[in-house]
C-alpha cells in the first residue's frame, strides 16, 4: 500500500509540469509521474538538521510501503519551494550538508551492496539500509535537464537500476535518456557515468567538478541496526 502523501498540490503540479510537459529527458521520471508512483513532499530550511529529521522519517515511511516484489518503480522527491539558491556551488554545499545531517541520524547499517566511501566507484548513498541514487535539481543549474522550478532532491532506489539490468532494459533506457539530454543541450552531461566506473557522488548536484574535487560527505562508523526491510 502506498503511503499517504502530504498535500502539496501546487508544488506537485509545478514539478509534474517540469517533468512531463517540459523537455525533460528522463523517460523513467516521466513514466513514474504518469503512473502516479511519486511521493513528493515540500520542506523548509534546506540543509538543516531539523529538516533532516523530517526527511529521514518520510523516507523511512516511503521504504516501509515500497513493494520490492514487483517492477512498479517508485521515487521519493523532496522539494524546497520557498528556497532561493543563487549558484550551483551553494546548492552543492547545501545538498551535501543535508545528506550528511540525514546520515548522522540514520541508525541503520549502510546498504552492503554499495560502498560508504565517497571516493569508491561503488559508492551510493544509503538511508535506512537501502542505497539511493540522488539527483539534485534547481533553477540555476547549468544543465537544462536539472532546471527544476525550485531546489529539489530526487531519491531513486539503487535497487531499481539493478532491476533494469536484470530485465535487460538498462542500457537501452540509459542510451535513450542520454540522447534526449544531448538533443536538449547539444551535449551529454559530462558528469554522468555508469555505476562502477566512477563514484556517483560527483553526479548528485549536477555541478561539473574536476578530478581535484573532494566529496564533503563523511561516513560515521557508529553501531547501527540491521538494514531496513
Return all residues near 170 (Cβ < 8 A) that are at least 6 apart. 161, 164
Cell numbers for 221 = 562508523
Confidence of residue 6 (pLDDT cuts 50, 70, 90): very low
What pTM was estimated for this model as a whole? 0.88
More confident residue, 21 or 103: 103
DSSP letter assigned to residue 75: E
pLDDT by residue (tens digit) across 19-73?
A: 988 778 888 888 888 889 999 999 999 999 999 999 999 999 999 999 888 878 8
Cell numbers for 139 = 533553477
- C-beta of residue 93 within 8 angstroms of C-beta of residue 212: no
- C-beta of residue 90 within 8 angstroms of C-beta of residue 136: no
- C-beta of residue 162 within 8 angstroms of C-beta of residue 111: no
- Taking CA atoms, 163 is separated from 37, 69, 93, 136, in Å, by 17, 11, 31, 23
Lowest mean pLDDT among 36-45, 79-88, 159-168, 183-192: 183-192
Cell 544509503 belongs to: 126
In this structure, what are the phi and psi dihedrals at residue 164, rounded to the nearest 5 degrees? -60, -40
pLDDT of 2 higher than 50: no
pLDDT of 160 higher than 70: yes
Confidence of residue 127 (pLDDT cuts 50, 70, 90): very high
DSSP letter assigned to residue 21: I
pLDDT at 165 (0 to 100): 83
Helix (H) or strand (E) holding 61: helix 49-65
pLDDT at 24 (0 to 100): 84
% of the chain beyond a pLDDT of 90: 57
Average pLDDT rounded to a whole number, residues 87-92: 96
- What end-to-end distance do the CA atoms of the chain give, in Å? 15
- Taking CA atoms, 41 is separated from 76, 78, 92, 169, in Å, by 8, 5, 20, 30
Nearest-angstrom CA–CA distance, 63 and 174: 25
Amino acid at each position: 500500500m502506498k503511503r499517504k502523501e502530504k498535500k502539496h498540490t501546487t508544488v506537485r503540479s509545478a514539478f509534474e509540469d517540469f517533468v512531463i510537459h517540459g523537455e525533460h529527458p528522463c523517460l523513467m521520471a516521466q513514466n513514474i509521474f504518469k503512473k502516479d508512483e511519486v511521493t513528493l513532499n515540500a520542506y523548509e530550511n534546506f540543509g538543516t538538521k531539523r529538516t533532516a529529521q523530517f526527511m529521514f522519517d518520510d523516507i523511512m515511511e516511503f521504504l516501509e510501503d515500497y513493494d520490492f516484489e514487483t517492477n512498479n518503480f517508485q521515487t521519493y522527491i523532496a522539494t524546497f519551494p520557498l528556497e532561493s539558491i543563487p549558484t550551483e556551488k551553494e546548492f552543492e554545499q547545501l545538498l551535501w550538508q543535508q545528506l550528511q545531517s540525514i546520515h548522522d541520524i540514520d541508525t541503520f547499517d549502510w546498504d552492503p551492496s554499495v560502498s560508504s566511501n565517497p571516493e569508491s566507484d561503488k559508492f551510493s548513498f544509503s538511508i535506512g539500509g537501502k542505497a539511493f541514487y540522488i539527483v539534485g535539481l534547481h533553477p540555476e543549474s547549468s544543465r537544462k535537464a536539472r532546471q527544476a522550478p525550485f531546489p529539489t532532491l530526487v531519491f531513486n532506489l539503487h535497487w531499481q537500476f539493478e532491476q533494469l539490468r536484470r530485465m535487460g532494459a538498462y542500457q537501452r533506457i540509459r542510451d535513450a535518456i542520454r540522447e534526449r539530454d544531448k538533443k536538449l543541450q547539444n551535449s551529454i552531461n559530462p558528469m554522468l557515468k555508469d555505476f562502477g566506473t566512477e563514484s556517483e557522488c560527483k553526479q548528485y548536484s549536477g555541478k561539473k567538478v574536476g578530478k581535484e574535487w573532494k566529496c564533503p560527505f563523511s561516513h560515521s562508523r557508529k553501531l547501527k541496526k540491521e538494514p531496513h526491510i
